[in-house]
C-alpha cells in the first residue's frame, strides 16, 4: 500500500468517538499505509465499536497510562501485535471536574496531580514504555495540545497540565534524539469531541475561533488536526523535533 506512512507501525491512544482527533488520525494513518494498534481506557468495548468505522480492522488493547504494571507490559503487547513500532500518538488528557470551569483558585492538589499525571507525565511514561521498540530504528512520537501560552476561560488546571505536556515533549526531544526518535506536538483548535464538551463553558471558549481565526475553523471537523499528526509521524519531517505545530486556523498568530 502506498502513502506517506507505508510500512509504518503506529500505536494510537485516545480513540473514543468518531468526532475525536485520535479517530481521524487513525483513519488517515490507515489511508496512508500504516498498520495500527489502538489502546483504550476505561472501556475497550467502546473503542472497539468506534474502530469498526475505520477503513481496515484494527486490534484494540486496554491501557491505563497511570498503571505502571500495564505500561511495563506494553512493549511486549505491541511486539506481539505489530512486530515492531515506528510511531506513537498521544491523545490523552483528563482533569477532574473540580479542576475546570472557573475553579482554579479552589482546586485541591489531589485533582491537580491527577490532571498532571494523566495529561502530561503520561507522555513520558507512554514513550518510555515504547522505547524498546522505537529505539530499534527510530521513529516519531506525536501528542496533542491546546496552546498553553495563554490562560483560557474555563480551562483552569488543564492549562498548566498542557504547559507541562509541552515542556515534557521538549525534554523528550532532547533525551531521545540519540535514538533517532522525534517528539512533537500538534496544537489543535477546539473540536466538539466528548472530551471538549466535558469542559464547562466550552462554547464560550470555542467562540474565540469564530471571531479571530484568520482561516475559518469548523468545530465539527477534526481532520485538519489529524492530518498534522500524520504528517509529523511520516518521514517528511526527518529533522523536526521538540516542535509544536499549530493547526488552529491561524489564531495563535493573532494578537487582537
199 has binding-site annotation? no
Identified catalytic residue from 8, 79, 155, 179: 155
What is the b/e burial string over 137-159, where b = at least 16 CB atoms within 10 angstroms of the residue's CB? eebbbbbbbbbbeeebebbbbbb
Cell numbers for 251: 489564531
143 has binding-site annotation? no
Identified catalytic residue from 8, 124, 162, 239: 162
Q: Is 41 known to be catalytic?
A: no
**Is there a cis peptide before residue 173, judged by omega within 30 degrees of 0?**
no
Structural contact between residues 93 and 143, judged by C-beta atoms closer than 8 angstroms: no
191 has binding-site annotation? yes
Neighbours of 106 (CB within 10 A): 10
Task: Identify the CA nearest to 123 among candidates 186, 60, 202, 34.
Answer: 186
206 has binding-site annotation? no
181 has binding-site annotation? no
Collect all residues with Cβ–Cβ distance below 8 Å to 51 and sequence separation of at least 6. Answer: 15, 26, 38, 57, 58, 60
64 has binding-site annotation? yes
20 has binding-site annotation? yes
Collect all residues with Cβ–Cβ distance below 8 Å to 1 and sequence separation of at least 6. Answer: 33
Structural contact between residues 184 and 232, judged by C-beta atoms closer than 8 angstroms: yes
Torsion of CA 6, 127, 13, 25, to 10 degrees: -40
15 has binding-site annotation? no
Neighbours of 219 (CB within 10 A): 17
180 has binding-site annotation? no
239 has binding-site annotation? no
65 has binding-site annotation? yes
92 has binding-site annotation? yes
Binding-site positions: 14, 20-21, 64-65, 92, 95, 162, 191-195
Catalytically active residues are 155, 162
Amino acid at each position: 500500500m502506498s502513502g506517506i506512512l507505508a510500512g509504518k507501525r503506529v500505536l494510537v491512544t485516545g480513540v473514543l468517538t468518531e468526532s475525536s482527533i485520535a479517530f481521524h488520525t487513525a483513519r488517515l494513518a490507515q489511508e496512508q499505509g500504516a498498520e495500527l494498534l489502538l489502546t483504550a481506557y476505561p472501556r475497550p468495548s467502546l473503542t472497539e465499536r468506534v474502530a469498526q468505522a475505520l477503513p481496515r480492522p484494527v486490534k484494540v488493547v486496554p491501557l491505563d497510562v497511570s498503571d505502571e504494571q500495564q505500561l511495563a507490559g506494553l512493549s511486549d503487547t505491541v511486539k506481539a501485535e505489530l512486530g515492531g513500532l515506528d510511531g506513537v500518538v498521544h491523545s490523552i488528557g483528563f482533569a477532574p471536574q473540580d479542576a475546570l470551569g472557573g475553579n482554579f483558585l479552589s482546586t485541591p492538589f489531589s485533582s491537580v496531580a491527577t490532571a498532571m499525571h494523566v495529561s502530561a507525565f503520561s507522555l513520558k511514561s507512554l514513550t518510555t514504555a515504547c522505547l524498546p521498540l522505537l529505539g530499534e530504528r527510530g521513529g516519531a512520537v506525536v501528542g496533542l495540545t491546546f496552546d498553553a501560552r495563554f490562560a483560557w476561560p474555563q480551562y483552569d488546571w488543564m492549562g498548566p497540565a498542557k504547559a507541562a505536556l509541552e515542556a515534557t515533549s521538549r525534554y523528550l526531544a532532547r533525551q531521545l534524539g540519540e535514538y533517532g526518535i522525534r517528539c512533537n506536538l500538534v496544537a489543535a483548535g477546539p473540536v466538539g469531541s466528548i472530551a471538549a464538551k466535558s469542559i464547562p463553558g466550552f462554547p464560550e471558549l470555542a467562540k474565540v475561533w469564530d471571531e479571530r481565526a484568520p482561516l475559518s475553523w469548523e468545530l465539527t471537523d477534526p481532520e485538519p488536526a489529524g492530518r498534522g499528526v500524520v504528517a509529523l509521524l511520516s518521514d517528511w519531517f526527518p529533522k523536526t523535533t521538540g516542535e509544536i505545530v499549530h493547526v488552529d486556523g491561524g489564531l495563535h498568530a493573532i494578537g487582537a
